[in-house]
Amino acid sequence: MAKEQRRISIDPALWEAVEAAARVKGIATNAYVEQALHLAIGPFDIIQKAADLALAAQTSAAETVERLNVIADYIVDAHRANAKSG
């Protein structure tokens, strides 16, 4: 998968701070920015996974409720049929 290069405008003072931080860590500036973005975005990935799991649980619960309703309807119908015949 090819990476798409994007260019954005950054305040020069902010960029100087990023470059200084990258030098302190001993890594390239672009690698430092990439790490920072991954750290910033990472929690959102976790939140998305939690939302996906919650949706799956909700779907499962809805299916369980539907199954219980079918069973309840069967019991009610069987009771009515028994009451009519008895």
The C-alpha atoms of residue 16 and residue 29 are separated, in whole angstroms, by 10
pLDDT tens, 23-81?
Answer: 999 999 999 998 988 888 877 888 889 999 999 999 999 999 999 999 999 999 999 99
pLDDT at 31 (0 to 100): 93
The answer to whether the predicted template modeling score (pTM) of the entire model surpasses 0.85 is no
What's the chain's Rg over C-alpha atoms?
29
* Contact between 18 and 33 (Cβ < 8 Å): yes
The C-alpha atoms of residue 80 and residue 55 are separated, in whole angstroms, by 37
pLDDT at 64 (0 to 100): 96
* 4-37-10 Cα angle (round to 5): 75
